[in-house]
Amino acid sequence: MLVLKFGGTSVGTPEAIGKIIDILKDGEHRDRVRVVVVSAFSKVTDSLISMSLKAASGDGAYREAAESLKKRHLETAGAFLSGEALEKASLALDDAILELVRVLDGIAALKEFSPRTQDLVMSFGERLSASLIAPIFSSRGIPASYLDARPLIKTDRVFGKANYFIEETSGRIRSYFNSLSLKLPMDAGAAKAKAPIQVATGFISSTMDDTTSTLGRGGSDLTAAIIGAALDAEEVEIWTDVDGILTADPRQVKNSFRIESISYEEAMELSHFGAKVIYPPTIRPALEKGIPIRIKNTFNPACPGTSIVKDASQGPFPIRGISSMSGMALLRVQGSGMVGVRGFSARLFTAIARKGININLITQSSSEYSLCFAVIPEDAEIACEAVKEEFRTEIAAGHIEPPIAETDLSIVAVVGAKMKHSSGVSGKVFHALGRNGINVVAIAQGSSELNISAVISKQDEAKALNAIHEVFFLSGVRSVNLFLLGTGLIGGTLLEQIAAQREILADQHKIKINLVGAGDSKHMMLSQSGLDPKSIKAQLREGKEALDLQAFVSKMKAMNLPNTCFCDCTASDEVAGWYAEILQSSIPIVTPNKRANAGSLGYYKTLTGFSRERGIPYLYETTVCAGLPVISTLRDLFLSGDKVRRIEAVLSGTLSYIFNNYDGSKPFSALVREAKAKGYTEPDPRDDLNAMDAARKALILARECGLSLEFPAVDIEPILPPSCFKADNVEAFFSELEKSDRDFEKRRAAAEAEGKSLRYVAIIEEGAAKLSLRAEAPGSPFLSLIDSDNIVVISSDRYSSLPMVIKGPGAGAQVTAGGVFADIVRIARTLV
């Protein structure tokens, strides 16, 4: 025998009711269902409360609203019934609405809307629904009778969320069904076939003196469980609009998925902490009788749903699911007068209980100096007053501080019986939170080890759920939500590489890169659902939202996504100026932009210090020598205890190309023109030949070696005469440069006469940094360079007799973008 319950969305439209009829007629349910518990049509309960509030305030619009309610139900009746059956249903609706209006008139006369009256008004939703659905079932060949559950389910007088009396209620239910000649257990197929299905009202009940009460919002689930337990049902099915209990709230975690099986205890923990699929008290009656509960989807009946049983099979994951409670308040009580005082907690929680306040979480420091507990925000002020009243003497004497209430919080709960036997679960949870900059206000874990709960800021709730869910459920997939500024040569190449490599990363390396924000020099686009790296450049060109750095950063922070990464592929001082705020928002940064690290020493130390202290990655490998592992190598040497004594380097791809090919076969100016034509220089070659770019790189290396240098302290030997920089345009520059060809040739020839070649080299040594044009002798590592290669020669305590050499392409869009891409992947690898 089965007991089925259908929620408001499942009976909200004629189409939905038609699906219920199909379910009752299918092979799995035909002749097995004895009771169908139904909720009010969707939104009807809210509408009834609204009518009551209007009546209490003197707003006569409640009568019009009651007529609309009648019309909605009459339209549903008309979709299924006709003739005498429709007329009978219409008369029943008239009577029910007339009774409702009389109650509302009474509220209007008294201008009072008490919890007791509210329960009576809300009962009309279920009564209208069940009394209409019963004849609809009968009209479709499913014999059914309307059952008002109020006389059967008896409760106390806690209106709004009454507590039912188990023995009294179970006895009345059994007696009622026995009166229908349904003997338990039922083993006669003929008897089953003849018995009409009882379409029962969910949610509503009555006190021992027959005053209407309710089991709390969502109580229709409990009604089904109570009836199922009383009748020893094989199973209670809760039909809703989702496929079952999911690993997390799908509205906040898109990657959540259905849990096949879950224990009663795990389901209670998840439902208590906000899982909306099942009303928390529903579990108790089923648990006591060992009756399985199955959560199914009315709109996808083929899905097996989620089974709630005593001994659920252990799944492949160390946890079962994640849930949360939004908008909580945390009260903190602390003081030396609590330490070692017996009975303090008893006094505290007795005082809270006297006010009828429910506590959702409790945690206490081991020193007993402080204790905090979570309540709903509406109860926070009352709870504070209760504590002040109970401990007024201790507070006045200064032994205990006045209670403090912190609001706008959420509780995130990680639930699973398997946690007890899985080490490292807590570590993963709190690493995921910390890695995403989510501050934990309080922590609680039950002795059963079924639940780890953390109190966090409400604004971080979705971020926390996604971060934890990814750690435990996505089979090791580590995702990065990427925000990119700069889609020029390097940024554009990076987008191409991401588009080409994204599927391979996801399939083979379990790394998923989601582009969620992008901007070029004029426009920006941000979308939480993701942007296509293949088409984003074209979309930005046609964009409607102008680039506003402050707005871009603000929106990135407001989206508050887990595992966010900001990538700056510009050469902008203005963008670099936002790095500190971005890092302080716990957002890692990846950049080839040298402006921040080659700017003021104070800003450099602020960024690197914050990254190191807070563990927020700030990766700038590509600021020096593109994709070559120079900065990471220096850092590894430092961490391993080595000390760098000297660095010699060719740091400019442009200058490397020019001097590698300056052999006297063509004038220096012609070689510069050739470099410009091949794209080795900026549109204005003076931007390379002024050596400023190489100097910035040298300054970054010096700072990475621990030198406290400002940019003006870098000694830069000019390559060009001053007249070249005074030229009005590029062509005028080349004219001036041609005048210097003879001087360049003299210097080159002099070096050649000594068997040497010219190279522009940076030297970092003894607390100083210098860049100069040097004549290099045969055997010099700088003479081994080809075209635009870079080279860095590192002498240290360990690499003294034979320096470490790092050489390779140090410029170019492909290698630079590849280095940036590698840093983004490195961000993913830092995740749990």
| Span 29-48, pLDDT tens digits | 999 999 999 999 999 999 99
* Angstrom distance (rounded) from CA 822 to CA 828: 10
pLDDT band for position 129 (cuts 50, 70, 90): very high
**Tokens standing for residue 99:** 């009774």
Tell me what pLDDT residue 212 has: 97
Which pLDDT score, from 0 to 100, does residue 192 have?
Answer: 45
Q: What is the mean pLDDT of residues 322-344?
A: 91
Residues across the chain: 832
**CA–CA separation, 268 vs 262, rounded Å?**
10
- 568, β-bridge pairs: 485
Helix H or strand E segment including 351:
helix 344-354
H or E, element range at 89: helix 83-110
Alpha-carbon distance 416 to 137, whole Å? Answer: 40
Mean residue pLDDT of the chain comes to 92
Spell out the CATH class of 639-810.
alpha beta
CATH 3.30.2130.10 for domain 321-473: yes
The domain defined by 2-241 folds into Carbamate kinase (3.40.1160)
pLDDT of residue 678: 87
Residue 189 sits at φ, ψ, to 5 deg, of -60, -35
Condensed to tens digits (0 to 9), the pLDDT of residues 195-233 reads 799 999 999 999 999 999 999 988 999 999 999 999 999
Instruction: Specify the pLDDT at position 291.
Output: 95
pLDDT in tens, 788-806: 899 999 999 999 999 999 9
Indicate the pTM of the whole model.
0.79
Whether pLDDT at 275 is above 80: no
Q: Report the C-alpha gap between 792 and 650 in whole angstroms.
A: 7
Separation of alpha carbons 777 and 752, rounded Å:
9
CB count within 10 Å of CB 814 equals 16
pLDDT surpassing 60 at residue 236:
yes
* Sheet bearing 618-619, strands edge to edge: 524-526, 511-519, 478-485, 564-568, 589-590, 618-619
What does the pLDDT average to over 747-752? 96
Q: For residue 227, give both structure tokens.
A: 């009836």
Q: What pLDDT sits at residue 191?
A: 43
Which of these, 296, 297, 300, lies nearest to 308 by C-alpha position?
Answer: 296
CA distance 585 to 562: 12
- pLDDT over threshold 70, residue 194: no
CA–CA dist 136, 142 (Å, integer): 9
Q: For residue 190, name the pLDDT band (cuts at 50, 70, 90).
A: very low
- Judged against a pLDDT cut of 90, whether residue 258 lies above it is answered with yes
Q: pLDDT confidence of 313, banded at 50, 70, 90?
A: confident
- Helix (H), strand (E) at residue 174: helix 166-179
Read off the tokens for 722. 């001053």
Predicted confidence (pLDDT) at residue 446 exceeds the cutoff of 80? no
Distance CA(579)–CA(607), nearest Å, equals 7
Other C-beta atoms closer than 10 Å to the C-beta of 222 total 26
Nearest to residue 563, comparing CAs of 413, 425, 463? 463
The predicted structure's pLDDT at residue 183: 47
CA separation (Å) from 191 to 173, 183, 185, 195, 650? 19, 9, 12, 6, 94
Encoded tokens for 605: 């130390």
Q: Is the pLDDT of residue 723 over 50?
A: yes
Six token digits for residue 195: 């018995």
What average pLDDT does this structure show over 492-506? Answer: 92
| Predicted confidence (pLDDT) at residue 475 exceeds the cutoff of 70 | no
Distance CA 229, CA 226 (A): 5
What count of other Cβ atoms lies within 10 Å of the Cβ of residue 328?
A: 23
pLDDT, mean of residues 113-124: 96
Q: Which residues contact 98 (CB under 8 A, 6 or more apart)?
A: none
Does position 627 have pLDDT exceeding 50, yes or no? yes
Residues 6+ apart with CB under 8 A from 687: 681, 693
Q: Which residue has the tokens 């060809």?
A: 741
Question: Worst-scoring range by mean pLDDT, 78-92, 311-325, 706-720, 790-804?
Answer: 311-325
Is 697 marked active-site? yes
Tens digits of per-residue pLDDT, 155-179? 999 999 999 999 999 999 999 999 8
Share of the chain above pLDDT 90, in %: 81
Q: How far apart are CA 508 and CA 502, in angstroms?
A: 10
| CA geometry: angle 827, 503, 471, nearest 5 deg | 45
Mean pLDDT, residues 750-775: 96
- Cα end-to-end distance, the chain, whole Å: 47
Active-site residue identified among 544, 697, 770, 807: 697
Domain ranges within the chain, ordered by starting residue: 2-241, 321-473, 478-519+556-626+820-829, 639-810
Asked if 42 and 15 count as a contact pair (C-beta separation under 8 A), the reply is no
Comparing 151-155, 504-508, 596-600, 630-634, the range with the smallest average pLDDT is 504-508
Determine whether domain 478-519+556-626+820-829 maps to CATH 3.40.50.720.
yes
Question: Tens digit of pLDDT for each residue in 260-269?
Answer: 999 999 998 8
Q: What is the pLDDT of residue 108?
A: 95
Amino acid residing at 347: R
Q: Tell me: pLDDT of 25 over 60.
A: yes
Q: Are 48 and 124 in contact (CB under 8 A)?
A: yes
For residue 187, pLDDT over 80 is answered with no
Average pLDDT over residues 608-622: 94
